Homo-oligomer: A and B are copies of this chain.
Amino acid sequence: MMQNSGVVEVHEDLRVRRTRKMLVAAFMELTVEKGFAAVTVRDITDRAMVNRSTFYRHFLDKYDLLDQYMTDVYGSASDEKLAEEKVARKKDFAPPGLTSLLKHIQEFPDFYRVMLGAQGDPKFIDRFRKNSERRLRALLEYVGDGDPNGSPIELRLSYASCAGIGVILWWLENNQPCTVEQLAVWLSQLTGTSVGLAIKPTQSAQS
């Protein structure tokens, strides 16, 4: 029953990698089409042209599939990423971690649009939010707190990390009306103001 969730096998069976890839792809397509809740394991395996029982050899259920995918994508990676984040953020640029996150989202815009919206999954949203909050907290710790209006720092963190989702949703629901870089700048400016980052961005990049 070892599902080796998240464990990175260096050299996995070719068949295994192919099967997992097809299952993940089918899952994402179907999620976009009918919303996360409506996707069944049978749907996924039919689309992936894989036997249903094979699905269960790789994943416990669709939630586990999503989990493993998320862990693959920005799982424990963020730990090292956060370190370079602190170094990279000089003064008025958007943090590179944010930009790369947005770039990843840009690869699967429909999937994120659905998953973060009304057809999505609350656990996914929560995970996304907590992730943002973690990154933000690390950033804040580095640059300091300007304490804009006396509200608790935790409140402001929760405010800003949730707000980030709103920005991404706006971007996705309006067919990405600006570049990733532009969006990153706007978002980090807004975030900076809300959270009270001590370092103020001095200029805004134009799209």
Q: A122 within 8 Å of B by Cβ?
A: yes
CB of A190 within 8 A of CB of B151, answer yes
Check B118–A120 contact: CB distance below 8 A: no
Question: Which residues of B are found within 8 Å of A157, using beta-carbon distances?
Answer: 170
Q: Are A151 and B194 in contact (CB under 8 A)?
A: no
Residue contact B117 to A122, C-beta cutoff 8 Å: yes
Of the stretches A42-50, A77-85, A103-111, A158-166, the one at the interface is A158-166
Residue A10, interface by CB 8 Å: no
Whether A126 lies near B122 (C-beta < 8 A) is: no
- In the assembled complex, the Cα of A169 lies from the Cα of B149 at a distance in Å of 19
Measured between beta carbons, the chain B residues less than 8 angstroms from A186 are 149-151, 155
Residue from the list B119, B159, B164 in contact with A122, Cβ < 8 A = B119
Knowing A125-B122, A151-B190, A190-B151 touch, does A169 contact B174 (C-beta < 8 A)?
A: no
Q: Which residues of B contact A190 (CB under 8 A)?
A: 149, 151, 156, 159, 194
B194→A163 contact, CB < 8 A: yes
Bound-state Cα–Cα, A107 to B35, Å: 32
Asked whether A165 lies within 8 Å of B162 as measured between CB atoms, the reply is yes
* Alpha-carbon gap, A127 to B190, bound state (A): 24
**29 A–B pairs (Cβ distance < 8 Å), ordered by A:** A36-B122, A117-B122, A117-B126, A118-B122, A118-B125, A121-B122, A149-B186, A149-B189, A149-B190, A150-B186, A151-B190, A152-B177, A155-B167, A155-B171, A156-B190, A158-B167, A159-B166, A159-B167, A159-B170, A159-B187, A160-B163, A160-B166, A162-B162, A162-B164, A162-B165, A162-B166, A162-B167, A163-B194, A193-B193
